[in-house]
Amino acid sequence: MASEPSRKSLLSSKAIADAASWYCAFLLVALLLQTMFRYSSMLPSHVDNNQLISQPCEEIYVVGEGETLHTISDKCGDPFIVENNPHIHDPDDVFPGLVIHIMPTS
């Protein structure tokens, strides 16, 4: 008979531990979902095409394959690329990967 109460306490403590682990798992899933929805609500729901058109180039521009200073100037609206980039000694000698500073006029 002495083993009967210890067996009951063992089963009840196992049930409590099982319930606690399920509670912790549920809490973890709830926190993950809350975090996921919080950060997804911070993202813009749509992108305005006018915003993309109004700023065609970043301030720092990396020259791509086949681009010239003339095409970059037309694309970015900066007619003074050579003047703003003293590291460009020859305007005809631009290569892919060259980093230039763009200052659009608009």
Over residues 27-81, the pLDDT tens digits come to 999 998 888 887 666 656 555 555 545 556 888 899 999 888 888 888 888 888 8
Tokens found for residue 30: 């709830």
Amino acid 65 reads E
- Residue 6 confidence (pLDDT): 75
Q: Indicate yes or no: pTM above 0.75.
A: no
SS3 16: helix
For 99-104, what is the mean pLDDT? 86
CA dist., res. 44 & res. 71, Å (int):
31
The answer to whether 95 and 48 have CB atoms below 8 angstroms apart is no
- Residue 24 confidence (pLDDT): 93
- Residue 53 confidence (pLDDT): 53
The answer to whether 79 and 102 have CB atoms below 8 angstroms apart is no
Residues 6+ apart with CB under 8 A from 91: 69, 82
- Residue 9 confidence (pLDDT): 78
- Residue 41 confidence (pLDDT): 62
CA dist., res. 85 & res. 4, Å (int):
87
- Residue 97 confidence (pLDDT): 92
Tokens found for residue 81: 């690329």
Question: Binning pLDDT at 50, 70 and 90, where does residue 22 land?
Answer: very high
pLDDT of 1 > 60? The answer is: no
SS3 57: coil
The answer to whether 63 and 95 have CB atoms below 8 angstroms apart is yes
